[in-house]
């Protein structure tokens, strides 16, 4: 039997071995040390346990120690000698280990002892070397930690939830432990964290990098390390190391989990098997996935495959310093979108400490690429949650990043290059050391007067797209001619193709990646952090260069729009991501605030203050954003996205650029990227599911739990490992760590308001509402206590319509069932919560009312159409009638006086607190509530007189043309007609 190596026998304490798998030479050296320590007893080589070469996984090795009952960490740390009083009589147990061949089995007889070394390190790559840089940590049974977790798992969960630091957790552990400090299982939280890392089975590998972390250093065949091409550091002088967390161990635990395992495939199988033609619902609807299916030989060959998306981003944790660290993680695309972005299901890969950004980002991804290459080609024989064993392959489909990081991932010149786009071959105009890609040329550079030339450089509706084969052929040509042509000529050809290197990105070595279709657009940075912010900056004349475009530069207009935005805060409830802030705070706006401004408030607060022509062009962008942010697209939606992007681009070129040389710098690359949104959706599926929101929110979570000021990146790396270890421990042993789900990244961008489906309809087509407290019991006739005038008559009218009975029968029904219950909140199946009351008791409703507006849908006689009314909740009731409970809402409806603005806005000239606006009160079932809306009161300019007041109804389900559609339970498109509009 071939030996993988030697390891210290569990019956003896070898201080030097420390449970490491070592070579024969090291084993002999440690044997001599152990021989001198154990009282001169005669020992032979048996103090080292030979392991069969059949051992290939950490799970097999951990089974060798499955019979251990107790571990004393202090003995291991202090290196105390073996004591015969610390063990019981040894027994021999036969354990069968599976080999690489299914037909072969190896038997390993080991003695079982009570006190064993609980930390074993093993590597199958370097048997003859004492350098264990890629050690695999294997968890052995640690009874002390298991007992601690049984009693105090909630303590770790609370620490994760509230981002507690080590000092606080240490004090908390001391308070909950026994008063005698000598009997405490752990003296500090550091010991708990180390025990969690050991027992979770988390393994990391260390790889060399230069001292400034410009790039990861590569090893040659003889084991030496190449120099850094940026700072000429080699491994002998560079002590930089970064840790990589492999992917497979975590996926393996997810596959074996009875809870997480089915989630990996149930949504994926349903989406693939029930795929609708002409509908883009997720990554499996895109062309890239279809190409992989054809390449693999059909859907049956990828049935048990896992698909990932890589995301990378740079972080500056301190506002007063340029210190930067970079983080990379993976998203499991097989999971449903509602749980795919939760922190415990993300797969952090590595953290690059900095302090500067890496010069070669892809070099740090080499361990990940190597692992994915093996998993994609050969896969692993994994045990599933149902006991079956399957060959599971793991593929990388997409690489996600913002523009600076994408430039590093793709090895392209980026936005400032002659060929700035990674999707097409357009060329920019060189002005002030930068290239700008307008449709028309800005000026003739050979003319001293910079004469305008009306010449079309490229057609927005027919772009010269790159193809994967052409890109790879170009790289092959550069590889062949790199040392055959002069360097200047080589750089010229690189510039003409937009390449920054003669070698393609290593990500293209994966057979599932396409150049550069597998690098989709990040809509978070494109739409909200770039385009929306840049247009508002032009309106406010932040640069001071274009006064004629500064529509908001006037102090009077600026303050009016600013006041309108502040007034909107009262109309947006907690179901929206953030309350709007004024324009004076726009430098601090988050991407979610820019999204809210673009899709909801911009057409309201700018109405009348910005010229109609400008606002009409901006309306194209608003429609584009609303469609792009949906989770589901039909082929008509994708065509409309392409049309809106082209119309907005031509509007921007005609109104802002005007083929003027002095304005060519306004034509930034981000406006051109809008033209590729439709293509990205067809290739990758809905790109709203591939944004950088997940990475940004996870980075924010890491920054919150990292409390160090010095060596921040190193501390953040340990926090990430601790979080991953907690998730692994929970999956491995089925021990639920409370509050670990509450650490999920905040997905406010995933709002039910942006879905084409009705937010109140579930997959079965039935609405699931639940009434929440506080609540109180009262009677219908006691109107003084309920403060609901005419409640009896409202209920009578409701039962007449609901049950189809006469007025007398309905009156008798209400009279016999006089008891009702008033509730404070309503929640639906998508966790939308409506609060008509603040919690101040129920004796004085009208004094403590909070704003809560919604859209209600009612059936009508027309086919495939429903009537929509805007309403305001008064209170929620539950009424018991004939052993049946009716969950009701008392609402006031706006049935008249509504108008449409020039850009499709719905408004009323009445004030928001006017009795004329919400004049119709009824009692309805809570199922009529579709989704919340916002109602805001703003000022509108009037010529020659005082500004008027308008009340706007902000409904994100309604597009700017006044059309609302949703999908019913049969997935049929239903049109909604808004009532109360005056012609």
CB atoms within 10 A of CB 360: 17
76-102 as b/e, with b when 16 or more CB fall inside 10 Å? beeeeebeeeebeeeeeeeeebbeeee
Cα first-last separation, the chain: 90
Lowest average pLDDT, out of 133-147, 265-279, 415-429, 665-679, goes to 133-147
- C-alpha distances out from residue 125 to 5, 135, 375, 959, Å: 11, 9, 17, 60
Which segments of 38-188 does DSSP mark as H helices, in order? 58-63, 73-78, 143-161, 166-176
- The answer to pTM > 0.85 is no
The residue ranking higher by pLDDT, 884 or 769, is 884
The residue ranking higher by pLDDT, 939 or 946, is 939
Residue 261 clears pLDDT 60, i.e. is over it:
yes
Residue 233 clears pLDDT 70, i.e. is over it:
no
Residue % of the chain over a pLDDT of 90 = 31
Give the model's pLDDT for residue 372. 96
Give the model's pLDDT for residue 36. 53
**Highest mean pLDDT, choosing among 202-211, 220-229, 565-574:** 202-211
Closest among 728, 727, 814, 806 to 779, alpha carbons compared: 814
SS3 content of the chain, % helix, strand, coil (to 5): 40, 20, 40
Give the model's pLDDT for residue 968. 56
Confidence at 255, pLDDT banded by 50, 70, 90? very high
Lowest average pLDDT, out of 7-16, 125-134, 272-281, 797-806, goes to 125-134
Whole-angstrom distance, CA of residue 693 vs CA of residue 357: 21
Residue 343 clears pLDDT 90, i.e. is over it:
no
Confidence at 663, pLDDT banded by 50, 70, 90? confident
The residue ranking higher by pLDDT, 847 or 908, is 908
Quick: pLDDT tens for 278-329: 899 999 999 999 999 998 888 888 999 999 999 999 988 887 778 899 999 9
> Rounded mean pLDDT of the chain?
77
Give the model's pLDDT for residue 30. 61
Task: Work out the angle at residue 526's Cα, subtended by the Cα atoms of residues 509 and 399, and round it to the nearest 5 degrees.
Answer: 15
Whole-angstrom distance, CA of residue 747 vs CA of residue 338: 9
Whole-angstrom distance, CA of residue 798 vs CA of residue 826: 20
Lowest average pLDDT, out of 319-323, 349-353, 790-794, 898-902, goes to 319-323
Q: What is the DSSP string of 672-698?
A: HHGGGHHHHHHHHS-GGGSSTHHHHHH
User: What is the sign, positive or negative, of the torsion defined by CA atoms of 396, 398, 404, 410?
Assistant: positive
Quick: pLDDT tens for 32-41: 665 554 444 4
Give the model's pLDDT for residue 830. 54
CB atoms within 10 A of CB 484: 8
Whole-angstrom distance, CA of residue 688 vs CA of residue 417: 27
Residue 745 clears pLDDT 50, i.e. is over it:
no
Whole-angstrom distance, CA of residue 186 vs CA of residue 532: 53
Tokens 């070469």, residue located = 53
- Beta-sheet pairing, 973-978 with 865-881: parallel
Confidence at 13, pLDDT banded by 50, 70, 90? very low
Mean pLDDT in residue range 383-397: 93
Give the model's pLDDT for residue 927. 85
Lowest average pLDDT, out of 20-24, 137-141, 585-589, 710-714, goes to 137-141
Is residue 335 within 8 Å of 345, Cβ to Cβ?
yes
Mean pLDDT in residue range 84-88: 31
Residue % of the chain over a pLDDT of 70 = 73
633 φ/ψ angles, rounded to the nearest 5 degrees: -130, 135
Give the model's pLDDT for residue 731. 85
Q: What is the DSSP string of 416-450?
A: TSSS--SSB----EEETTEEE--SB----TTSTT-
What is the enclosing helix (H) or strand (E) of 824?
Answer: strand 819-827
763: its two tokens: 């997959």
DSSP single-letter state for residue 347: E
275: its two tokens: 């795929």
Say how many CA atoms lie within 13 Å of 424 toward its Cβ.
21
Instruction: Please give the radius of gyration of the chain, using alpha carbons only, rounded to the nearest integer.
Output: 33
Give the model's pLDDT for residue 32. 60
410: its two tokens: 């793709």
Lowest average pLDDT, out of 49-58, 226-235, 408-417, 714-723, goes to 49-58
Mean pLDDT in residue range 902-907: 88
How far is Cα of residue 771 from the mean position of the Cα atoms in its chain?
30
Whole-angstrom distance, CA of residue 211 vs CA of residue 200: 31
831-862 as b/e, with b when 16 or more CB fall inside 10 Å? ebebbbbeeeebeebeeebebbbbbbbeeeee
108: its two tokens: 């390993």
Say how many CA atoms lie within 13 Å of 379 toward its Cβ.
15
Give the model's pLDDT for residue 884. 82
Quick: pLDDT tens for 606-661: 998 999 999 999 999 999 999 999 888 999 999 999 999 999 999 998 899 887 77
Closest among 698, 694, 693 to 723, alpha carbons compared: 698
Is residue 125 within 8 Å of 133, Cβ to Cβ?
no
Lowest average pLDDT, out of 252-256, 816-820, 846-850, 900-904, goes to 846-850
Is residue 379 within 8 Å of 247, Cβ to Cβ?
no
Residue 15 clears pLDDT 70, i.e. is over it:
no
Whole-angstrom distance, CA of residue 422 vs CA of residue 224: 36
Q: What is the DSSP string of 559-572?
A: HHHHHHHHHGGGT-
Whole-angstrom distance, CA of residue 278 vs CA of residue 636: 9
Which segments of 465-530 does DSSP mark as H helices, in order? 468-481, 487-497, 523
Is residue 411 within 8 Å of 505, Cβ to Cβ?
yes
- Beta-sheet pairing, 380-383 with 389-392: antiparallel
Give the model's pLDDT for residue 153. 83
Residue 64 clears pLDDT 50, i.e. is over it:
no
Which segments of 3-138 does DSSP mark as H helices, in order? 24-37, 58-63, 73-78
Whole-angstrom distance, CA of residue 325 vs CA of residue 292: 34
- C-alpha distances out from residue 335 to 139, 266, 269, 331, 460, Å: 28, 8, 11, 9, 36
HEC profile for 216-262? ECCECCCCCECCCCCCCCCCCCCCEEEEECCCHHHHHHHHHCCCHHH
Give the model's pLDDT for residue 71. 32
Residue 678 clears pLDDT 90, i.e. is over it:
yes
Whole-angstrom distance, CA of residue 945 vs CA of residue 699: 51
Give the model's pLDDT for residue 371. 95
How far is Cα of residue 972 from the mean position of the Cα atoms in its chain?
30
Quick: pLDDT tens for 458-512: 888 889 999 999 999 999 999 999 888 999 999 999 999 999 999 999 999 999 9
- C-alpha distances out from residue 850 to 571, 574, 854, 873, 919, Å: 10, 11, 13, 10, 18
> How long a stretch of residues is the chain?
983
Is residue 644 within 8 Å of 624, Cβ to Cβ?
yes
Give the model's pLDDT for residue 390. 92
User: What is the sign, positive or negative, of the torsion defined by CA atoms of 973, 747, 507, 471?
Assistant: positive
Domain limits, the chain? 244-401+692-705, 435-461+522-689, 791-820, 849-895+917-982
Is residue 201 within 8 Å of 728, Cβ to Cβ?
yes
Tokens 């429609």, residue located = 623
Quick: pLDDT tens for 166-212: 888 888 887 776 655 566 778 888 888 888 888 888 889 988 888 88
Give the model's pLDDT for residue 132. 29
CB atoms within 10 A of CB 983: 4
139: its two tokens: 């968890």
Residue 121 clears pLDDT 50, i.e. is over it:
no
């Amino acid at each position: 039997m071939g030996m993988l190596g030697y390891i210290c026998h569990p019956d003896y304490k070898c201080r030097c071995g420390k449970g490491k798998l070592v070579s024969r030479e090291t084993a002999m050296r440690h044997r001599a040390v152990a021989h001198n320590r154990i009282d001169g007893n005669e020992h032979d080589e048996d103090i080292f346990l030979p392991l069969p070469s059949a051992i290939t996984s950490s799970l097999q090795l951990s089974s060798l120690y499955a019979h251990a009952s107790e571990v004393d960490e202090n003995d291991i740390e202090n290196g105390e000698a073996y004591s015969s009083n610390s063990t019981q009589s040894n027994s021999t147990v036969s354990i069968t280990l599976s080999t690489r061949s299914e037909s072969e089995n190896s038997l390993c007889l080991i003695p079982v002892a009570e006190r064993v070394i609980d930390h074993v390190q093993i590597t199958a790559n370097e048997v003859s070397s004492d350098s264990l840089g890629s050690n695999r940590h294997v968890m052995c049974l640690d009874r002390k930690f298991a007992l601690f977790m049984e009693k105090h798992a909630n303590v770790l969960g609370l620490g994760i939830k509230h981002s507690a630091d080590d000092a606080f957790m240490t004090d908390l552990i001391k308070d909950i432990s026994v008063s005698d400090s000598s009997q405490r299982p752990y003296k500090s939280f550091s010991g708990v964290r180390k025990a969690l890392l050991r027992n979770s089975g988390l393994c990391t590998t260390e790889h060399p990098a230069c001292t400034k972390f410009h790039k990861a250093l590569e090893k040659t065949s003889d084991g030496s390390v190449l120099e850094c091409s940026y700072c000429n550091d080699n491994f002998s002088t560079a002590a930089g190391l970064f840790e990589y967390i492999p992917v497979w161990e975590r996926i393996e635990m997810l596959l074996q989990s009875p809870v997480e395992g089915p989630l990996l495939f149930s949504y994926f199988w349903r989406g693939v098997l029930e795929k609708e033609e002409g509908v883009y619902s997720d990554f499996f609807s895109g062309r890239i996935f279809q190409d992989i299916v054809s390449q693999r030989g059909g859907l049956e060959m990828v049935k048990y495959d896992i698909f990932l998306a890589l995301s990378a981003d740079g972080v500056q944790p301190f506002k007063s310093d340029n210190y930067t660290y970079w983080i990379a993680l993976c998203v499991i695309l097989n999971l449903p979108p509602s749980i795919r972005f939760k922190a415990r299901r993300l797969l952090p890969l590595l953290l690059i400490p900095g302090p500067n950004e890496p010069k070669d980002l892809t070099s740090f991804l080499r361990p990940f690429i190597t692992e994915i290459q093996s998993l994609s080609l050969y896969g692993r024989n994994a045990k599933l949650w149902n006991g079956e064993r399957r060959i599971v392959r793991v593929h990388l489909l997409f690489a996600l990043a913002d523009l600076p990081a994408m430039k590093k991932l793709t090895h392209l010149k980026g936005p400032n290059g002659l060929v700035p786009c990674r999707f097409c071959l357009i060329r920019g105009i060189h002005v002030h050391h930068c290239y700008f890609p307008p449709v028309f040329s800005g000026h003739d550079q050979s003319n001293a007067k910079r004469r305008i030339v009306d010449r079309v450089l490229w057609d927005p509706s027919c772009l010269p797209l790159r193809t994967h084969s052409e890109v790879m052929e170009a790289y092959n040509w550069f590889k062949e001619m790199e040392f055959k042509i002069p360097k200047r000529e080589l750089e010229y050809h690189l510039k003409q193709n937009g390449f920054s290197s003669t070698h393609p990105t290593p990500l293209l070595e994966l057979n599932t990646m396409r150049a550069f279709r597998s690098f989709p657009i990040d809509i978070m940075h494109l739409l909200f952090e770039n385009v929306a912010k840049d247009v508002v900056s032009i309106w406010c004349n932040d640069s001071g260069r274009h006064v004629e475009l500064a529509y908001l530069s006037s102090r009077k207009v600026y303050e009016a729009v600013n006041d309108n935005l502040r007034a909107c805060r009262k109309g947006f409830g907690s179901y929206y991501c953030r309350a709007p802030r004024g324009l004076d705070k726009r430098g601090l706006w988050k991407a979610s605030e820019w999204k809210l401004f673009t899709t909801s408030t911009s057409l309201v607060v700018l109405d009348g203050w910005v010229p109609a022509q400008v606002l009409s062009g901006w309306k194209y962008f608003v429609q584009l954003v609303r469609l792009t942010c949906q989770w589901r697209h039909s082929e008509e939606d994708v065509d409309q996205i392409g049309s809106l992007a082209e119309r907005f681009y031509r509007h921007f070129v005609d109104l802002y650029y005007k083929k003027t040389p002095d304005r060519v710098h306004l034509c930034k690359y981000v406006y051109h990227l809008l033209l590729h949104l439709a293509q990205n959706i067809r290739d990758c599926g809905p790109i709203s599911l591939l944004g950088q929101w997940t990475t940004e929110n996870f980075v924010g979570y890491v920054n919150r739990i990292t409390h160090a000021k010095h060596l921040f990146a190193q501390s953040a790396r340990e926090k990430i490992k601790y979080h991953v270890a907690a998730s692994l421990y929970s999956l491995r042993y089925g021990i639920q760590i409370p509050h670990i789900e509450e650490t999920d990244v905040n997905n406010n961008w995933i709002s039910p308001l942006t879905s084409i489906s009705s937010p109140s309809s579930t997959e079965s087509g039935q609405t699931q509402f639940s009434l929440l407290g506080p609540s109180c019991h009262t009677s219908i006739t006691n109107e003084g206590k309920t403060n609901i005038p005419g409640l009896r008559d409202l209920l009578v009218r409701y039962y007449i319509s609901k049950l189809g009975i006469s007025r007398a029968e309905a009156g008798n029904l209400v009279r016999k069932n006089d008891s009702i219950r008033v509730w404070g909140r309503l929640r639906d199946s998508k966790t939308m919560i409506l609060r008509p009351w603040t919690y101040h008791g129920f004796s004085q409703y009208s004094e403590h009312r909070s704003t809560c507006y919604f859209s209600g849908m009612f059936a009508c006689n027309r086919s495939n159409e429903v009537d929509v009314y805007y309403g305001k909740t008064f209170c929620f009731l539950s009424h018991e009638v004939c052993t049946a409970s009716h969950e009701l809402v008392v609402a006031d409806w706006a049935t008249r006086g509504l108008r449409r603005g020039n850009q499709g806005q719905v408004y009323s000239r009445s004030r928001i607190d006017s009795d004329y606006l919400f004049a119709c009160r009824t009692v309805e079932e809570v199922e009529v509530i579709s989704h919340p809306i916002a109602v805001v009161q703003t000022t509108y300019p009037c010529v020659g007189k005082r500004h008027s007041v308008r009340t706007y109804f902000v409904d994100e389900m309604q597009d700017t043309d006044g059309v609302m559609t949703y999908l019913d339970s049969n997935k049929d498109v239903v049109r909604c007609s808004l009532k109360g509009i005056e012609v």
